[in-house]
């Protein structure tokens, strides 16, 4: 056998071999099976269409002259059906061998054409070429879908950003009017100042989040690491998140099994845990339960777990919750304010510390658990 054909690049690929001539059908099936392909046979065009729709083969080797429907019509139907149009079609014929027949075959949607008789090497090389083309087309479709999805999430994020940045402006303008009318004196003016200060702090927090995301994404964050008990960062995170947790009426339980030392930047590690606590508070309906536990995992890692009994994460979203522009439930996020980028920042900061982060959930309405692992120092 030709050395070029010694290793099959698509082992087990399903090929539908359609031919009403028993000898030709047998020969083609044996050639394909010898090279590692799984072969299903059909004798008529109607049978071929039924099996193609049911079995979804990667390739159909389709003789043009069939007893019921011509191979060209079978090809047209396969290519016009969204369920089968990605199947590659290789026309074969011992009768229609003139150049115009090949042109007609390709115009019907066929991806290739071979005239009988052909050698084993010629058939296999053509099949492999068509399957490579199919793989490339699938990658392009997948990439296009991912780009469309990323663009959709980006647009949603920008809309949320505009909403969150504009929200504080109206009360600030109202506060300025009150200050103008009262000349900055009295209880109304004091209340207006407090309100304006809160709104400005909210805007600063949003802008800080955006700047952090930009710095982390570009690798511009410089960590000031020191050997420290991870409990110090946990207590700092609880202090940061406590106002939101209390405002939502959540109960927070913190359990630290033992002192565990890591090399970390206190500010940034606290940010990781605070982002996880804030996420739990935002995505848990009022009066929920949140727990944080610090424990040793094996001999060389510290594990910090943040668990809640909130809305949970659908299985399809588990792999995306750390992606920028991704939110599980927009309605709850908007009630608390924020851009939904906290988990993305948390993951990148954890990785900068040599750690990793993982989300778990049994599904919608079943709560969530986020685990961070960091190497012990």
Q: Which residue has the higher pLDDT, 31 or 158?
A: 31
Helix or strand (DSSP H, E) at 38: strand 38-42
CATH for 126:
3.40.50.2300
Three-state DSSP class for residue 41: strand
In a domain? residue 46? yes
> Are 37 and 116 members of one domain?
yes
Which DSSP letter does residue 61 get?
A: E
Distances (CA, A) of 35 to 13, 21, 57, 97, 200: 10, 22, 16, 26, 69
The verdict on 24 and 113 lying in the same domain is yes
Average pLDDT for 281-305:
95
* Average pLDDT rounded to a whole number, residues 90-112: 85
78, 51 contact by CB (below 8 A): no
Question: What pLDDT is attached to residue 129?
Answer: 92
Question: pLDDT higher for 125 or 325?
Answer: 125
Q: How many other C-beta atoms are found inside a 10 Å radius of the C-beta of residue 6? A: 8
Residues 301 and 361 in one domain: yes
Q: Within a domain: residue 4?
A: no
Give residue-wise pLDDT tens across range 199-228. 787 677 677 777 777 777 677 778 889 999
Please tell me whether residues 329 and 208 are part of one structural domain: no
Q: Where do we find the tokens 């269409």?
A: 49
Q: CATH number of the domain at 288, please.
A: 3.30.565.10
Residue of 22, 24, 23, 55 whose CA lies nearest to 123: 24
The residue that leads in pLDDT, 157 or 75, is 75
Task: Say whether both 171 and 203 belong to one domain.
Answer: yes
Instruction: Please check whether residues 324 and 193 belong to one and the same domain.
Output: no
Do the domain assignments include residue 68?
A: yes
Residue 211 lies in a domain: yes
Q: What percent of the chain has pLDDT over 90?
A: 55
Q: Does 77 map to a domain?
A: yes
Q: Can you read off the two tokens belonging to residue 85?
A: 């149009």
Percent of the chain residues past pLDDT 70, beyond the cut: 89
According to the model, what pLDDT value does residue 339 have? Answer: 53
Q: Are 171 and 193 in contact (CB under 8 A)?
A: no
Q: Are 266 and 233 in contact (CB under 8 A)?
A: yes
For residue 152, whether the previous peptide bond is cis, meaning omega lies within 30 degrees of 0, is: no
Residue 174 sits in the same domain as residue 247: no
Looking at the fold, whether 230 and 370 belong to one and the same domain comes out as yes
Quote the pLDDT of residue 325: 61
Residue 201 is predicted with a pLDDT of: 75
What confidence tens digit (pLDDT) does each residue in 301-320 have?
999 999 999 999 998 888 88
- Same-domain pairing of 128 and 32: yes
pLDDT value at 6 more than 70:
no
What pLDDT is attached to residue 2? 47
Establish if 3 belongs to a structural domain.
no
Let me know whether 272 and 172 are in one domain: no
Q: Which helix (H) or strand (E) element contains residue 295?
A: strand 289-297
Q: What does the alpha-carbon distance between residue 38 and residue 8 come to, in Å, rounded to a whole number?
A: 12
Number of domains the chain contains:
3
Nearest Cα neighbor of 133 from 88, 195, 190, 66 is 88
pLDDT at 336 over 70: no
Choose one of 105, 140, 175: the last residue of a domain: 140
Domain for residue 5, yes or no?
no
Q: Domain containing 172: what range?
A: 167-217
Same domain? 51 vs 126: yes
In terms of DSSP bridges, do strands 301-308 and 356-360 run parallel, antiparallel, or are they unpaired? Answer: unpaired
Q: Which of 236, 277, 238, 230 is nearest to 256 (CA)?
A: 230
The reported pLDDT for the residue numbered 265 is 92
Give domain status of residue 148, yes or no.
no
- Same domain for 78 and 191: no
Q: How would you write 51-92 as a 3-class SS string?
A: HHHHHCCCEEEEECCCCCCCHHHHHHHHHHCCCCCCCEEEEE
d(CA 367, CA 221): 32
Alpha helices, DSSP H, located in the chain: 22-34, 45-55, 71-80, 99-107, 120-166, 169-182, 186-217, 230-247, 266-282, 330-336, 342-352
pLDDT recorded at residue 335: 45
What is the pTM (predicted TM-score) of this model? Answer: 0.55
């Amino acid at each position: 056998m030709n050395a070029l054909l010694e290793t099959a690049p698509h082992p087990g690929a399903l090929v539908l071999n359609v031919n009403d001539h028993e000898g030709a059908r047998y020969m083609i099936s044996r050639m394909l099976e010898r090279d590692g392909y799984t072969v299903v046979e059909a004798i008529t065009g109607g049978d071929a269409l039924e099996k193609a729709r049911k079995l979804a083969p990667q390739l159909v080797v389709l003789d043009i002259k069939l007893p019921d429907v011509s191979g060209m019509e079978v090809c047209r139907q396969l290519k016009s059906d969204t369920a089968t149009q990605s199947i590659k079609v290789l026309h074969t014929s011992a009768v229609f061998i003139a150049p115009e027949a090949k042109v007609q075959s390709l115009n019907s949607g066929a991806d290739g054409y071979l005239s009988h008789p052909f050698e084993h090497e010629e058939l296999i090389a053509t099949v492999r070429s068509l399957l490579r083309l199919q793989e490339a087309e699938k990658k392009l479709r997948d990439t296009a879908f991912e780009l469309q999805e990323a663009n959709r999430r980006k647009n949603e994020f920008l809309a949320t950003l505009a909403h969150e940045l504009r929200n504080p402006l109206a009360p600030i303008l109202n506060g300025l009017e009150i200050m103008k009318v009262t000349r900055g004196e009295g209880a109304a003016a004091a209340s207006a100042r407090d309100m304006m200060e809160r709104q400005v702090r909210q805007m600063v927090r949003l802008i800080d989040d955006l700047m952090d995301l930009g710095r982390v994404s570009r690798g511009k964050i410089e960590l000031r690491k020191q050997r420290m008990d991870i409990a110090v960062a946990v207590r700092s995170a609880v202090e940061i998140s406590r106002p939101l947790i209390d405002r939502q009426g959540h109960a927070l339980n913190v359990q630290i099994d033992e002192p565990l030392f890591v090399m970390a930047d206190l500010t940034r590690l606290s940010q990781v845990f605070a982002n996880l606590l804030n996420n739990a508070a935002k995505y848990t309906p009022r009066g929920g339960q949140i727990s944080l536990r610090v424990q040793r995992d094996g001999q060389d890692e510290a594990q910090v777990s943040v668990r809640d009994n909130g809305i949970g994460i659908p299985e399809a979203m588990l792999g995306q919750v750390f992606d920028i522009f991704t939110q599980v439930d927009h309605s709850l996020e908007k009630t608390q304010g924020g851009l939904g980028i906290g988990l993305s920042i948390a993951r990148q900061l954890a990785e900068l510390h040599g750690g990793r982060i993982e989300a778990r959930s049994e599904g919608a309405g079943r709560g969530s658990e986020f685990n961070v692992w960091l190497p012990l120092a």
